[in-house]
Amino acid sequence: MNWKTSVFLVLFAGLLIFLTFNRHKHSKKGYFNYQSEIWADKAGYNVYLPATFIYNFDASAFPDSLDSRTGDGFKLNKKTKIVYTKYTYGVALMQAPFFLFAYWYSNLMGAESTGYEPIYHAIINLSAVFYLVFGLFFLFKFLSFQYSWRTAFFSTAIIFLGTNLYYYAIDDTGMSHVYSFFLFSAFLFISRKTDFLKDLKLINLISISIISSIILLIRPTGAMFLLVFFFLDLNQRNHILERVRRLGNIRATSVFLSIFALIWLPQLLYWKYSTGDFLSYSYGGEGFNFLSPKLGYTWFSPINGLFLYTPLYLLILFGMVRMIHNQVTNGWLILTSFFAISFVFSSWWDWSFGCSFGARSFVEYLSLFVLPVAYTLSQCTKLRLYKKVLIGTLILGFVAFNLKVTYTYDSCFFGTDAWDWSEYLSLISSPTK
């Protein structure tokens, strides 16, 4: 990384820090509400950190009613002393360095440290910015192996500014998506840089195994990304067997399983502590209904519909079709993966994924869906001027729409049963906040 890139990243990170802290003004709203960095799902992800480093997983040592005050993302059983959360510890693992800094600083200043003071909220914003910046950097570097730096840069910028990745990196910083996006992008960059599927050096194998294990730890559906990667850049069918042989050899399998077991061991121990079993499906009655997917709702519902809240996906789909038409490698793979991912997420019991901005389940997969965007931009140099202007205008319109709705959205759809087209139209026509 040269000094110009370093300066740019520092300045970019500074701008993002300003934006996220500007969005998280707690002076009037306080810290215990749905706009907080530690609330509901976000509190459930984060609770591993204070439980480990401050309370020794003793629920009776937590401040009274802290679970309800943070949106019931976790439960504190004062009688059994068990801290219960249905979420895995992957997000907490990635937030841990920032949490420990806040813990160290609080102790240094002699301040109270319950794990829920303002500094612990603020540090989550810094954590999200950190992973976003490096996620975008890795994505840019990944694209640069195939496209010019201009195409890679603008493709990365469009994906960030034109989708709800922006929202989950600036507004809802405690959710899992920006962390998964970083991992997906880092995985693609490292695999492309090291030609991982051909060169199984130990350091490369360890790096990919660590990233893969954390991807699955944060969200097991991340296995879909790993499956797509296996077929990425595949030109001939006989290469499939070659990849199976390389990845399935004793050395590669042993390293991956060892690292996977090491990273997942704390989760198994937590489940044993909280449920009595090493393996536990903590989501209870929540699950997938693959016989009744809600594809239409997932794509077009006024409640978080993919295309209604992120119309940039129209350009992404256009790019997929163009790749297939021009017989470009990965065209069919990306299109197939889009439909497969849509099918899986639309089969979840809550296809809208609750209190979210747009189809949040797709955010991390933008590291794959950026490829059709990059291909479309790379082809623009061959187009006539009026077509370039048309595509540029559409992209700017998609970006403007995303940012406008982001700054209009109030962080949660309360009472989604009542959220209809009139509410959606009101949202997109209301002034920004």
What pLDDT, on the 0 to 100 scale, is given for residue 248?
A: 74
> Last residue of a domain, which of 92, 121, 150?
121
C-alpha atoms less than 13 angstroms from C-alpha of 85 in its C-beta half-sphere = 31
The encoded tokens of residue 362 equal: 């797709």
Do 413 and 296 fall into the same domain? yes
Residue 7 located in a structural domain: no
The total domain count for the chain is 2
Residue 397 located in a structural domain: yes
Residue 52 CA: distances (Å) to CA of 47, 106, 175: 8, 16, 20
> Last residue of a domain, which of 121, 147, 173?
121
The encoded tokens of residue 305 equal: 């519909």
**pLDDT-derived band at 433, boundaries 50, 70, 90:** low
Lowest mean pLDDT among 11-25, 68-82, 409-423: 409-423
Q: At what angle do helices 202-218 and 250-275 cross, to 10 degrees?
A: 30
Residue 24 located in a structural domain: no
Handedness of CA 56, 58, 63, 66 (dihedral sign): positive
What pLDDT, on the 0 to 100 scale, is given for residue 37?
A: 93
Summarize the confidence of residues 395-416 as an average pLDDT: 82
Q: Which domain holds residue 67?
A: 34-121
Do 39 and 104 fall into the same domain? yes
Query: Distance between alpha carbon 100 and the CA centroid of its chain, in Å?
Result: 22
Look-up of token digits 């079993």: 277
32 in helix, strand or coil?
A: coil
Summarize the confidence of residues 95-121 as an average pLDDT: 94
Do 221 and 110 fall into the same domain? no
> What does pLDDT average to over the chain?
91
Look-up of token digits 């990845």: 247
* Structure confidence by residue, pLDDT tens digits, 139-185: 999 999 999 999 999 999 999 999 999 999 999 999 999 999 999 99
How far is residue 107's CA from residue 49's CA, in Å, rounded to a whole number?
16
* Burial class of 157 by CB neighbour count within 10 A (0 to 12, 13 to 18, 19+): middle
Residue 232 located in a structural domain: yes
Do 61 and 203 fall into the same domain? no
Do 76 and 160 fall into the same domain? no
What pLDDT, on the 0 to 100 scale, is given for residue 105?
A: 95
Looking at the predicted structure, is the pLDDT value of residue 415 above 50?
no
Summarize the confidence of residues 118-136 as an average pLDDT: 97
Residue 298 located in a structural domain: yes
CB crowding 50-80: b at 16 or more within 10 Å, else e = bbbebbebebebbeeebbebbbebbbbeeee
Q: Which amino acid is at 416?
A: T
Do 111 and 159 fall into the same domain? no
Do 78 and 148 fall into the same domain? no
Pick the closest to residue 244 from 207, 202, 210, 197 (CA basis).
197
Looking at the predicted structure, is the pLDDT value of residue 416 above 60?
no
* Structure confidence by residue, pLDDT tens digits, 287-302: 999 999 999 999 999 9
Other beta carbons less than 10 A from residue 30's beta carbon: 9
Residue 12 located in a structural domain: no
Do 149 and 116 fall into the same domain? no
> Last residue of a domain, which of 68, 86, 121?
121
How far is residue 419's CA from residue 413's CA, in Å, rounded to a whole number?
8
How far is residue 170's CA from residue 20's CA, in Å, rounded to a whole number?
5
C-alpha atoms less than 13 angstroms from C-alpha of 384 in its C-beta half-sphere = 2
Query: Distance between alpha carbon 168 and the CA centroid of its chain, in Å?
Result: 8
Do 389 and 286 fall into the same domain? yes
CB distance 92 to 45 below 8 Å: yes
Do 139 and 115 fall into the same domain? no
Summarize the confidence of residues 324-345 as an average pLDDT: 95
What pLDDT, on the 0 to 100 scale, is given for residue 344?
A: 97
How far is residue 179's CA from residue 256's CA, in Å, rounded to a whole number?
21
Residue 237 located in a structural domain: yes
* Structure confidence by residue, pLDDT tens digits, 9-64: 999 999 999 999 998 886 567 788 888 999 999 999 999 999 999 999 999 999 99
Q: 53 versus 199: which is more confidently predicted?
A: 53
* Structure confidence by residue, pLDDT tens digits, 232-281: 887 766 677 777 877 778 888 899 999 999 999 999 999 999 999 999 98
What pLDDT, on the 0 to 100 scale, is given for residue 199?
A: 65
Residue 98 CA: distances (Å) to CA of 94, 135, 267, 303: 8, 17, 20, 34
How far is residue 412's CA from residue 419's CA, in Å, rounded to a whole number?
11
CB distance 341 to 365 below 8 Å: yes
* Structure confidence by residue, pLDDT tens digits, 362-387: 999 999 999 999 999 999 888 888 88
Residue 236 located in a structural domain: yes
The encoded tokens of residue 105 equal: 């600083």
How far is residue 267's CA from residue 290's CA, in Å, rounded to a whole number?
27
**pLDDT-derived band at 426, boundaries 50, 70, 90:** confident
Provide the whole-model pTM. Answer: 0.95
Do 112 and 137 fall into the same domain? no
Do 104 and 135 fall into the same domain? no
Q: What angle do CA 330, 336, 340 make, to 5 degrees?
A: 140
